[in-house]
Structure 1
Amino acid sequence: MQKIFFIQPPRYKGKIFHAEPLLPRCAGIPAKASYLQPPIGLAYTAAYIMRERNVAAQIIDAQAEDLTLEETAEKAKDADFVIISASLPAIESNLELCKQIKTLNKDIKIGLIGTYASFFHKKLIKNSAIDFVVRGEPEIPLVNILDFFNEKRFDLSGLTLKHNGKIIVGPKAKLIENLDSLPFAARELLNYKKYYDILIKGKKLDFVISARGCPFRCNFCAARAYSKKYRARSAGNVLSEVREIQEEFGHDDITFFDDTFTINKRRILEICEGLKGLSINWRCLSRVDTVDREMLEKMYAAGCYQIKFGVESGSQRMLDRMGKGIKLSDVKKVFKICNEIGIETVAFFILGYPGETKRSAEKTIRFAEILDADFASFNLFTPLPGSPVFPNFEHLDEWSLYDFGSFSFCSIPTEELKEIATKAYKRFYLRPAYAYGRIKKMGFRRFLVQNIKFWLMREGVLAEKIFGKR
């Protein structure tokens, strides 16, 4: 039986790249990540491959295991196929990992998957350690590549690969229309003891992807790079996976990890009805123009305790430039409803989008202060490959430019923009009204425990003694 290893690469520059701290960096000192989430996308993909072909799959989460590049390569050297989830700005580190694996075993077939691998496939395939790159959603192309190298089938849809000294770019793969036909994530391949989030309400976290594609057209976002067509699993199918998570794995806190969970109101209400009797705490990502009071009340009654909203800016001019398609008045209205119902809110903001000025950045900070969100995250704009705005930056052909938060792409100098972001965190989280509001909503005990955990994580060594090595 062939072995296929899926790899979440090691930390980039010592950081848990996909799990930046959400809580305040008020002192201007980088904090240890307040959460580390499982690579659930790899678990879904592995489940599909194991179902479709007779292979033994394994997931190596180098971030959760705190592995170096060398240690990760050593763990992967006995595989027949290695699939690496590539990301920016860590792509050079990802390529070094491929090189080290290939040095240990030249016969391993190594492939890259992910949004950025898809976008840069023609450049990445030229690397001597890369045998193939998957473009778009990975399930069908990975089955195709297994069959190709095993000389069973010659369908190269969704693949860019090397063969007989030539580079072959296969046709675009068809989308999987019926997501209910896909298996649930292979959670048995993940070590859930390694994953944590100090903000969850339950005791054991998990993630569910219930839909794919995005119908919205935000200029800064690469969500549509994979698929512009929105496809969703049925409510019954989603609920079946939730019950499996609860009954077989004992997890009681779920994040619905769709780009926008609340697109289809009827589906959400059906899911909420099914969740009522399961005693599951859950949260999701949403947009303010896809929810209303009825939906929010039913979500809360079904166990939803937190919603993360992309607010992006406190300047309507900047929102319009971003193509966000929302009004600041709608943001205020939805956050007010959530506060009245009792749902925690997280507001994500972007600073430094092209056209940003000191005045518009100040508007964003002020808007965050009056919005009365439970948490706010201020992120510096980075042009993402596959996003509508990216063609304006394609001439900047350097991986280092995608080191999130390291460069300014507006008229504000980089260091000054970083100072504005730090100021935003301080002004939002160090308000007396903020602490009072949090205690009032969540109770003093939970507020105290949550903040003690966060500050201990800042101390690093003490945190590891108490919570174990992360």
Structure 2
Amino acid sequence: MDGVSFTRQGRCQERDDVLGTTKPPLSLAWIASVLRQDGHDARIIDLTAAGKTVGELAHFLDEGQFAPTLIIFASCFPTWDADARAMGALKEKTGAPIISFGPHASAAPIDALKRAPVVDGVLVGEPEDGARALANLQPGENWSTVGSLCFRRGDDIVPCRESGRFGGFASAAGPDWGGTDFDHYRLPLVNAPYALVETSRGCPYTCDFCVAPLQQGHQFRERPAPAVVDEIERLQHERRLRYFYLWGDTVTLNQKSIGAIADELIRRRLGIRWIANARADNVTDPALVSRLRASGCWMLSFGIEASVPERRDEMQKRLPEPAIASAVANLRRAGIRSFAFFIFGYPGETLASMAATTDYACDLDIDFAGFYPAVPYPGTELGDRAAAVGWVTDPSDWRQLEYSHYAMKCGELTEASVLKAIARARRRFYLRPRYLARHAWELARIAATKPGITKHVVKQMLARRD
């Protein structure tokens, strides 16, 4: 979008410089898997990762190497308008209907189609079974038979009947990556290619700012540990990968299950390294954390969000303070890096409370900290409340719904004040002498392997000095 690379995978809808990497297109790989099982010729094309343009893709199609009859693309709130225009050019070139999925489609399907008249439909919820049903329709068969599809019929928009759920998730062997070049996807701290391996879907928690339940619901569903490790071993053997991102909203939610994955990895002696999203209150058992480390875990990320429990309670992020301290201590003791996330600009905050969160982050013994503005995504409780009371500065501008902007005005919270507080927090956290001494090698490696992203982040940190 406008020359900026974005990740559009699951709930992630951020610029690639947020975490320093483009994520592999896992959802498209799952869709390709179910379509190929039914005999369809499915291709995964990631223009962002490959650094290609839609024009170059159109030239590829002109050469007759592939003639799509259905185009399914991932998108998200901030890139939706630009993505739809780009895919519209492919539709004009091929005549194939274009269908999208992602947070925007699950949270605001009718609004998404109103904004993008060229798009034929959006899949609400998990896209796999809906994509399969669409691909298997006979010519002239009614699209209304696809329950999770919100689609255009003449001048009308037909709403979906249900939110999609991938019925084969728990029993699936894994996604089909096809010709995906994993060298395009590199972890910034190690500069090595990696793959996403999905362990679970759904989140039982009710954080009011999160879009994840809009796509995958609140029911927690898991794949068996042997199937997860089979997939890792297969990717290690076939793609020569050593690094993996165990993918799920909260991979450590079921401690028995993540323990079983760890034990299976240890038993097979694969020698791989992995990272995952966690919750602080899921890693308070030192013995479990030690098993995770022994299995190859080298970093866990988790949301802390605010410095005081009362603010977390307002966010419905019910996370007790002792659990945070215990999790951080366990990870440090085991030698697993910790990456904590903090939200700035939540309604009701003040400049003083954001400064207090900065102090709190610096006092914690964490390895990395991400400071992000609260984003009022439509469909979330926070987004709907912010829109209802008039906090959203421009509800029509979805481009603002990402971490480079603050899209609300609430009391003394403005885009300028919140982004200034975030820049100050980054400076304070990452420029501490003790921190620089401990992480000098890692910071130097990031600067050497990701110079563009490093320059952008440093520029953000220094642009809003007091």
Q: Same fold by TM-score, threshold 0.5 exceeded? A: yes
Deviation (angstroms), 1:321: 1.2
| 1:24 corresponding residue in structure 2 | none
**For the structure 1 residues 222 and 76, does the alpha-carbon distance in structure 2 shift closer, same or farther, using more than 3 Å as the test?**
farther
- 1:350 and 1:378 in contact (8 A); partners too: yes
Deviation (angstroms), 1:448: 4.2
Query: Does residue 288 of the first structure (1) align with residue 271 of the second (2)?
Result: no
Instruction: Name which of 82, 96, 121 aligns with 1:132.
Output: 121
| 1:366 corresponding residue in structure 2 | 359
Cα deviations by residue, 1:142-193 (Å, 9 ceiling, x for unpaired) = 1222233535687221111234665333421563455233241222331112
**For the structure 1 residues 385 and 31, does the alpha-carbon distance in structure 2 shift closer, same or farther, using more than 3 Å as the test?**
closer
Distance in 2 (CA, whole Å) between partners of 1:324 and 1:125 is 32
The residue type paired with residue 32 of structure 2 is A
Instruction: Name which of 45, 51, 75 aligns with 2:31.
Output: 45
Deviation (angstroms), 1:343: 0.6
**For the structure 1 residues 204 and 65, does the alpha-carbon distance in structure 2 shift closer, same or farther, using more than 3 Å as the test?**
closer
Distance in 2 (CA, whole Å) between partners of 1:241 and 1:82 is 27
| 2:291 corresponding residue in structure 1 | 298
- 1:311 and 1:347 in contact (8 A); partners too: yes
Deviation (angstroms), 1:397: 3.6
Distance in 1 (CA, whole Å) between partners of 2:186 and 2:328 is 27
Distance in 1 (CA, whole Å) between partners of 2:130 and 2:18 is 36
Deviation (angstroms), 1:72: 4.3
The residue type paired with residue 55 of structure 2 is E
Of all paired residues, the percent bearing the same amino acid is 25
The residue type paired with residue 298 of structure 2 is Y
SS at match of 1:236: helix
Q: How many residues align?
A: 431
- 2:400 and 2:407 in contact (8 A); partners too: no
| 1:432 corresponding residue in structure 2 | 433
Moved more, 166-175 or 249-258: 166-175
Query: Does residue 36 of the first structure (1) align with residue 22 of the second (2)?
Result: yes
Moved more, 38-47 or 253-262: 38-47
Distance in 2 (CA, whole Å) between partners of 1:36 and 1:333 is 31
Cα deviations by residue, 1:305-328 (Å, 9 ceiling, x for unpaired) = 100011111132321111100123
Query: Does residue 330 of the first structure (1) align with residue 323 of the second (2)?
Result: yes
Deviation (angstroms), 1:351: 0.6
- 1:119 and 1:386 in contact (8 A); partners too: yes
Distance in 2 (CA, whole Å) between partners of 1:279 and 1:237 is 18
Moved more, 144-153 or 318-327: 144-153
| 2:53 corresponding residue in structure 1 | 68
Distance in 2 (CA, whole Å) between partners of 1:32 and 1:224 is 22
Instruction: Name which of 106, 112, 119 aligns with 2:107.
Output: 119
TM-score by length of 2: 0.86
- 2:202 and 2:213 in contact (8 A); partners too: yes
Distance in 2 (CA, whole Å) between partners of 1:174 and 1:61 is 23
Distance in 2 (CA, whole Å) between partners of 1:80 and 1:307 is 41
**For the structure 1 residues 283 and 458, does the alpha-carbon distance in structure 2 shift closer, same or farther, using more than 3 Å as the test?**
closer
Query: Does residue 16 of the first structure (1) align with residue 15 of the second (2)?
Result: no
Cα deviations by residue, 1:259-314 (Å, 9 ceiling, x for unpaired) = 10001111111111111111010111000111221211110111111000111111
Distance in 1 (CA, whole Å) between partners of 2:335 and 2:101 is 39
- Report matched runs for 1:433-452 at 5 Å: 433-438=434-439, 444=441, 448-452=444-448
Instruction: Name which of 49, 55, 61 aligns with 2:40.
Output: 55
Distance in 2 (CA, whole Å) between partners of 1:32 and 1:220 is 18
Distance in 1 (CA, whole Å) between partners of 2:304 and 2:415 is 22
- 1:147 and 1:153 in contact (8 A); partners too: no
Cα deviations by residue, 1:189-239 (Å, 9 ceiling, x for unpaired) = 3111211122148x4311111111101111111111121211011111111
Deviation (angstroms), 1:399: 2.0
**For the structure 1 residues 119 and 75, does the alpha-carbon distance in structure 2 shift closer, same or farther, using more than 3 Å as the test?**
farther
Moved more, 248-257 or 383-392: 383-392
- 1:83 and 1:110 in contact (8 A); partners too: yes
Instruction: Name which of 76, 96, 118 aligns with 1:87.
Output: 76
- 2:273 and 2:297 in contact (8 A); partners too: yes
Distance in 2 (CA, whole Å) between partners of 1:216 and 1:261 is 13
Deviation (angstroms), 1:132: 1.7
- 2:73 and 2:100 in contact (8 A); partners too: yes
The residue type paired with residue 55 of structure 1 is H
Distance in 1 (CA, whole Å) between partners of 2:76 and 2:28 is 13
Moved more, 211-220 or 410-419: 410-419
Query: Does residue 234 of the first structure (1) align with residue 230 of the second (2)?
Result: no
SS at match of 2:252: coil
The residue type paired with residue 179 of structure 1 is F
- 1:76 and 1:101 in contact (8 A); partners too: no
Moved more, 207-216 or 325-334: 325-334
| 1:398 corresponding residue in structure 2 | 397
**For the structure 1 residues 181 and 152, does the alpha-carbon distance in structure 2 shift closer, same or farther, using more than 3 Å as the test?**
farther
**For the structure 1 residues 177 and 156, does the alpha-carbon distance in structure 2 shift closer, same or farther, using more than 3 Å as the test?**
closer
- 1:282 and 1:305 in contact (8 A); partners too: yes
| 1:278 corresponding residue in structure 2 | 270
Unaligned runs of 5+ in 2: 9-15, 389-394, 457-466
TM-score by length of 1: 0.85
**For the structure 1 residues 33 and 230, does the alpha-carbon distance in structure 2 shift closer, same or farther, using more than 3 Å as the test?**
closer
**For the structure 1 residues 40 and 413, does the alpha-carbon distance in structure 2 shift closer, same or farther, using more than 3 Å as the test?**
same
SS at match of 2:91: helix
Deviation (angstroms), 1:403: 4.2
Cα deviations by residue, 1:313-353 (Å, 9 ceiling, x for unpaired) = 11323211111001233212210111111110001111111
| 2:91 corresponding residue in structure 1 | 102
**For the structure 1 residues 32 and 348, does the alpha-carbon distance in structure 2 shift closer, same or farther, using more than 3 Å as the test?**
closer
Distance in 2 (CA, whole Å) between partners of 1:170 and 1:379 is 33
Deviation (angstroms), 1:66: 1.6
**For the structure 1 residues 321 and 280, does the alpha-carbon distance in structure 2 shift closer, same or farther, using more than 3 Å as the test?**
same
**For the structure 1 residues 125 and 76, does the alpha-carbon distance in structure 2 shift closer, same or farther, using more than 3 Å as the test?**
farther
Distance in 2 (CA, whole Å) between partners of 1:151 and 1:145 is 12
Distance in 1 (CA, whole Å) between partners of 2:76 and 2:31 is 17
SS at match of 1:180: coil
Deviation (angstroms), 1:73: 4.8
Unaligned runs of 5+ in 1: 1-11, 20-29, 461-470
SS at match of 1:36: coil
**For the structure 1 residues 239 and 33, does the alpha-carbon distance in structure 2 shift closer, same or farther, using more than 3 Å as the test?**
closer
| 2:344 corresponding residue in structure 1 | 351
Instruction: Name which of 136, 148, 173 aligns with 2:137.
Output: 148
The residue type paired with residue 449 of structure 1 is R
Cα deviations by residue, 1:6-62 (Å, 9 ceiling, x for unpaired) = xxxxxx23222229xxxxxxxxxx9697222211221122111211x2211111111
Distance in 2 (CA, whole Å) between partners of 1:130 and 1:455 is 37
| 2:306 corresponding residue in structure 1 | 313
